[in-house]
Amino acid sequence: MGLIHFTDYNPNFFSWNRTLNQTSIARLQTLDKSSALNREKKKEIGRSTDDGVVGYSRKKPDVSVSLSQLEHGSMDTYKALANKDVETLTLDDFGNASNDIVAYLTDQDDVFIGSKWYSNMRLEGFSINIGDPDSDVERSFDLVGEKDKILQGDNQYFIWGNTTVESGDLDSIDSVDIVISSPIAQENPDVTGEFMLQVLRVRANVVTKLSADDAEFTDTANLLTVADCQVDDIIKYAYSAKTQGSQTLMTLNDSDPAVISADSCSVYLYIPASGSPDVEDYVYRLQSVSIDVSFERLDLPEIGNNEVVERAIQTKTVSIGLNRFEISNAIEEVLRGEGADYGILDVEKFTATARVVVKIYSDNTKDTFKMGFKATGLSASELAHTMAVDEFTDVTNAIKGESLTITSVEANLDD
């Protein structure tokens, strides 16, 4: 096995819900994974051998994946993470969504060596960062889960498929047969007779992970039989294979810009009163902008099962940083809810209803809108400035809220 170059590392999302399926991760710059195995040594009184060690308690691993991307004006990553193929998303859309992250690996000798598979990953937070006026716009995502598997040898290819149940597919007991033969499924070397990595049933946007009793695979006939089906159910299934078959390793995005720079963005700060952000709400002289979203998740397992069976977001925090040189008090005037040159800007009287809109265009002509973000219900959380010898005053405005809209429809950024 040779070294793996970044050009031969093919990363994808496989969404659990709805008909959205494989999404290749475009403009990916880094993918960092860490798995804490959570094993605890157990001892007992009276055991003189092995220093009293009986064995180990094995809890679910904690798997974390961090991704960083160049901003290219595409909603694809957000859609995959929300499991929704729509043009406008809010933070609530990420609550019960899950994805498998799969990377297909080929070495420098052009030999396929396997797949890395992180299953049932949920979004824990993300950020958009414009570091300075000359920088590229970047985005990053943090996901959490419990599954970390490497597929290799006869099981080297991760294969994913789906089918939507039609009335003619159901037999007399409401089962559906799915032929799986291109490529042929390989047996799990850890479990005799097990061929499916996972089978999901999506019914009315509710995902159920099916057991082997409800999704039985017959290898002699290459047939997956799924019980208790209804018309319009979506059956998603994954298995390992020795050959690639028709599985796509990665689909390159050659339609969006390679990267979008800071000069192709517009930032607005205003108090909602008269509709969409106007030219007078444009924020000038900004040196950096950041949007950081964090979730406190409530993802629940159950007794008798090592899977997370319910996924939800308990609290949401949207933190926005607007950093600039101190040329005027325009931002503070907006946060106070007053016009230019208002006599006293008392921070105790600052609003809790401010809005920030960030629009991203394909280039600095700003003729073609690509996507944008709207944060509402914002309250100032910190005002800071730094003054040093031989420097100009650097001002930081930090504002927080709980709501963010992400959209590729410019009109949806209006009130």
pLDDT averaged per 10 residues in sequence order, the chain, 415 residues: 79 90 96 92 90 88 96 97 96 95 93 96 97 96 96 97 92 91 95 96 93 94 95 96 96 96 95 69 90 92 81 92 78 79 78 92 97 94 70 76 97 88
Residue 330 backbone phi and psi in degrees, to 5: -60, -40
Same domain, 268 and 392: yes
Residue 344 lies in a domain: yes
Which pLDDT score, from 0 to 100, does residue 69 have? Answer: 98
Running DSSP on this structure, what letter comes out for residue 183? S
Same domain, 353 and 402: yes
CA 201, 202, 204, 208 dihedral sign is positive
- Cα dihedral value 130, 136, 137, 139, nearest 10: -110
Burial of 406: CB neighbours in 10 Å, binned 0-12, 13-18, 19+: buried
Query: CB of 97 within 8 A of CB of 311?
Result: yes
How many helices (H) does the chain have, and how many strands (E)? 2, 27
Q: How far is CA 346 from the centre of its chain?
A: 39
Residue that terminates a domain, selected from 186, 210, 241: 241
Residue 117 lies in a domain: no
Same domain, 273 and 392: yes
Domain count, the chain: 2
What's at 236, amino acid-wise?
A: K
Residue that terminates a domain, selected from 209, 241, 273: 241
Residue 189 lies in a domain: yes
The pair of structure tokens assigned to 140 is 């990053």
Q: Is residue 332 within a helix (H) or strand (E), and if so which, with residue range?
A: helix 330-336
Q: Where are the beta strands (DSSP E) in 157-259?
A: 157-164, 176-179, 196-203, 206-209, 215-218, 223-226, 234-241
The pair of structure tokens assigned to 188 is 């799990």
Query: CB of 363 within 8 A of CB of 257?
Result: yes
Q: How far is CA 317 from CA 258, 371, 402, 403, in A?
A: 30, 21, 5, 8
- Cα dihedral value 8, 10, 11, 15, nearest 10: -170
Same domain, 296 and 391: yes
Which pLDDT score, from 0 to 100, does residue 390 have? Answer: 56
Residue 44 lies in a domain: no
Same domain, 353 and 285: yes
Residue 317, domain CATH: 2.30.110
Residue 235 lies in a domain: yes
Residue 128 lies in a domain: no
Q: Which of 138, 119, 112 is nearest to 259 (CA)?
A: 138
Q: What is the C-alpha to C-alpha distance for residues 55 and 58, in angstroms, rounded to an integer?
A: 10
Q: Which of 53, 58, 101 is nearest to 238 (CA)?
A: 101
Same domain, 286 and 401: yes
Running DSSP on this structure, what letter comes out for residue 261? B
Same domain, 285 and 384: yes
Same domain, 269 and 236: no
Same domain, 237 and 269: no
Q: What is the C-alpha to C-alpha distance for residues 321 and 338, in angstroms, rounded to an integer?
A: 21
Residue 126 lies in a domain: no
Same domain, 272 and 220: no
Residue 40 lies in a domain: no
Strands 223-226 and 176-179: antiparallel
Q: Which of 103, 397, 98 is nearest to 267 (CA)?
A: 397
Q: What is the C-alpha to C-alpha distance for residues 84 and 258, in angstroms, rounded to an integer?
A: 24
- Domain extent at residue 169: 157-241
Same domain, 216 and 278: no
Q: What is the C-alpha to C-alpha distance for residues 385 and 283, in angstroms, rounded to an integer?
A: 18
Q: Is residue 78 within a helix (H) or strand (E), and if so which, with residue range?
A: helix 76-82
Residue that terminates a domain, selected from 241, 272, 293: 241
What is the largest distance, in Å, between two alpha-carbon atoms of the chain? 83
Which pLDDT score, from 0 to 100, does residue 238 have? Answer: 97
Residue 79 backbone phi and psi in degrees, to 5: -60, -45
∠ CA 317-412-291, nearest 5°, is 30
Residue 237, domain CATH: 2.60.40
The pair of structure tokens assigned to 97 is 């969504």
Q: Is residue 274 within a helix (H) or strand (E), and if so which, with residue range?
A: none
Which pLDDT score, from 0 to 100, does residue 274 have? Answer: 53
Burial of 390: CB neighbours in 10 Å, binned 0-12, 13-18, 19+: exposed
183: cis peptide before it, omega within 30°?
yes
Same domain, 405 and 278: yes
Q: What is the C-alpha to C-alpha distance for residues 316 and 405, in angstroms, rounded to an integer?
A: 13
Residue 272 backbone phi and psi in degrees, to 5: -65, 120
Q: Which of 398, 379, 397, 377 is nearest to 90 (CA)?
A: 377
